[in-house]
Amino acid sequence: MGSGKSSGAINYINKSDDEIKFLYITPYLDEVERIILSCPTKHFKQPKEFGSKLKGIKYLFNKGENIASTHSLFTLFDEEIIDMVYNNNYVLIMDEVIDVIEPLVITESDLENILEKYAVIENSLLKWTNPKYKGKFDDYKRLCSLDCIGIYNDKVVLWLFPISVFRAFKEIYVLTYLFEAQTQKYYYDFYGIEYNYLNVKGDNPSNYEFTTDPISYQTYDYKSLIHILENTKLNQIGDLETALSYNWYKRNADNQLIKKLKNNCINFFKHYSQTQSDYNLWTTFKDYQSSIRGKGYSKCFLSSNARATNAYKDRTAVAYLVNRFFNPYIKNFFIENNVQVDEDAYAKSELLQFLFRSAIREGNEITVYIPSSRMRRLLKEWVEEVSLK
């Protein structure tokens, strides 16, 4: 994080031949603007509304333009776009990973009906066997044609991002940290996609470039910069290994524990970090944001899966009120298909991505409240690890 991945990508784009076409996707519109301004000779275009932005991006692909867009639009790509991408030799640069697998809601009776009459399970994917079918299951038929309905334990249904979208690109660069701990890596492993790890070399943003050479990155003294609150009273609520997980919130939504957590958060910002609201940052699961919101930090919320934004780099006090675990159905789907999942590495990756939205990304001190004993342990282990290098 902060090693110059985006600057390396910009330099790579600017030095590339004009025949190479790029799609650059990023979570935020301000980063789209950055790419457009930083690559003036490439004339990057944003999709405009032609009835919809999906039609707008199809118009740009059809013209062979360099395109900068957001993750949300990328997830809507269809077969027509896949054809245009493949035939125009596009290179994809992804600023951070995307959600590539999610639970898919389908009734048990509908699934039984589909399996009895229209489809079979092959290699944990639903395969449609009735090409002439037309009816209420047309959407499932289309998803099956893209190999993006996963089945676990013969009944749990998952949506997987169409792998044919990724396969349509000439090359793909994913700009992220700890890729080996992220869902997109496990997804690539499931589909047998090969990938290499790159580093960034250079002494300033103007000459950063990608390399396969080992790089010893100059890091900050995180031990002296990250001040983790060690307070028995405020941390007691997270002592159990699974405390502050999503299921914990769901289980305790109507009792005093949520109120206690809110009071702990108020206490942290008021008496421990003693920061004004403009310097605070906090997160919880979005479904419980309103329950935890309190005076002095209510407007400082950021989604726990936020990435690739520098908008909060002045925040010096952080309350991280979640304990991240893999969705068990997704985890078991991967394990059933011989893809090993590291729960702690995933949780650590999610935590670090959030913390590096704050002032620590520029080497400034932060005070952190992490009541989950598990997440606090993972952060301490990471600090020790990077401090030894």
pLDDT (tens digit per residue) in 10-27: 999 999 999 999 999 998
Whether residue 140 is contained in a domain is answered as yes
CATH code of 37's domain:
3.40.50
The answer on 248 and 292 residing in a single domain is: yes
Residue 84 sits in the same domain as residue 153: no
For residue 329, CA distances in Å to 153, 159, 193, 205, 319 come to 9, 12, 22, 42, 29
Say whether both 148 and 23 belong to one domain. Answer: no
Closest Cα to residue 347, out of 312, 320, 368? 320
Asked if residue 196 and residue 234 are part of one domain, the reply reads no
Q: Would you give the distance in Å from CA 47 to the centre of its chain?
A: 22
pLDDT score, position 388 = 62
124/31 same-domain check = no
> Taking Cα atoms as reference points, which of 137, 158, 72, 118 lies closest to residue 334?
158
Asked whether 53 and 73 are in contact (CB, 8 A), the reply is yes
The answer on 183 and 52 residing in a single domain is yes
Residue 387 backbone dihedrals phi, psi, to 5 degrees: -75, -20
**What are the per-10-residue average pLDDT scores of the chain (389 residues)?**
87 95 91 93 89 89 94 89 93 94 92 94 94 92 92 90 95 94 95 94 91 81 94 97 97 95 97 95 96 93 86 95 95 95 95 94 95 98 82
> Under a CB-based contact definition with an 8 Å cutoff, are residues 375 and 322 in contact?
yes
Compute the radius of gyration of the chain from its Cα atoms: 23
Cα–chain center distance at 289:
19
Number of domains the chain is built from: 3
* 306 within some domain: yes
Pick from 122, 129, 178, 110: nearest CA to 151: 122
Q: Do residues 236 and 371 share a domain?
A: yes
Residue 217 lies in a domain: no
Within this chain, do residues 191 and 286 fall inside the same structural domain, yes or no? Answer: no
pLDDT of amino acid 51: 73
Q: Among the three residues 211, 231, 247, which one is the final residue of a domain in this structure?
A: 211
Burial of 280 (0-12, 13-18, 19+ CB in 10 A): buried
Which residue range(s) make up the domain with 339?
Answer: 222-387
- Do 127 and 233 fall within a single domain? no
Grouping H, G, I as helix, E, B as strand and the rest as coil, residue 362 is helix
The per-residue pLDDT for 389 is 53
Residues 193, 242: one domain?
A: no
User: How many Cα neighbours within 13 Å face the side chain of 85?
Assistant: 23
3-state secondary structure string across 116-150: HHCEEEECCEEEECCCCCCCCCHHHHHHHHCCCEE
Whether the Cβ atoms of residue 143 and residue 79 lie closer than 8 Å to each other: no
Q: 240 and 326: one domain?
A: yes
> Are 317 and 245 members of one domain?
yes
Please report whether residue 216 resides in a domain: no
149 phi-psi bin (left φ>0, alpha ψ -120 to 50, beta other): beta
